[in-house]
Amino acid sequence: MKIYSITVFSTENEEAVNLTGEYELSGFGFFQRGSVQEFMKFFSKTVAERTRPGQRLSVEENNYIFYSYARTEGIAGVIICDNEYPQRVALSLLSKILDEFLGKFARNTWKPQTISYPELKNYLIKYQDPKEADQIIKVQEQLDETKQVMNKTIESLLQRGEKLDDLIDRSQEISFQSKAFYKQARKTNSCCTIS
């Protein structure tokens, strides 16, 4: 599962303005990359224009899914990924990126050329793996691991129980035998003398 691009648009006017964007084009042939990037920009722009403020949208096209989230402050984010990438992770990723964007750049700096958002590239690379992006998935995985460890512990505990049972039997037997031994010894030491 891959993310192909993350783009941020400003939707104040009728036409969305591309503020910043990062593209992952390594899956395409060298000569197609330019046109693929143009296509991505165009599609993202269209989807961003169609998204109403405060609304999350997902559009599916062939094998690619566009997730977009428009904020009421006038910006919208679009993520293009393949159809395996989980929806929830993509949408929460959008929320996170837009929050950070809003925090970093004031409203009057929203012009396409003046914004440099290098973290976006890091995000794009880092979040190719959805497990990194979503806390929920991470916590769930850790919990599953812990559960497996616990299961193993319980199994070994059961084995320990078996061994302890074995020990009990053996110790009981020794106890009986030593008792017999003691009685025997006492008997030979009794009143009758050896003639």
Q: Which residues bind to another protein, rule: CB under 8 A?
A: 52, 54-58, 87-88, 91-92, 136-137, 139-140, 143-144, 146-147, 150-151, 153-154, 157-158, 160-161, 164-165, 167-168, 171-172, 174-175, 178-179, 181-182, 184-186, 188-189, 193-194
Query: What is the closest distance, in whole angstroms, from the C-beta atom of residue 3 to another protein in the complex?
Result: 17
Residue closer to another protein, measured from CB, 108 or 188? 188
- Cβ atoms of residues 84 and 1 within 8 Å: yes
Distance CA 178, CA 186 (A): 12
Give the shortest CB-173-to-another protein separation in angstroms.
9
- Structure-token pair, residue 2: 């891959």
We find the least distance from the C-beta atom of residue 76 to another protein, in angstroms, to be 14
Which residue stretches of the chain are H helix? Answer: 33-50, 87-104, 119-126, 130-133, 135-188
| 30 or 176: CB nearest another protein | 176
Determine the 3-state secondary structure of 116 from DSSP. Answer: coil
Closer residue to another protein, CB minimum distance, 126 or 183: 183
What is the Cα–Cα distance from 38 to 153, expressed in whole angstroms? 56
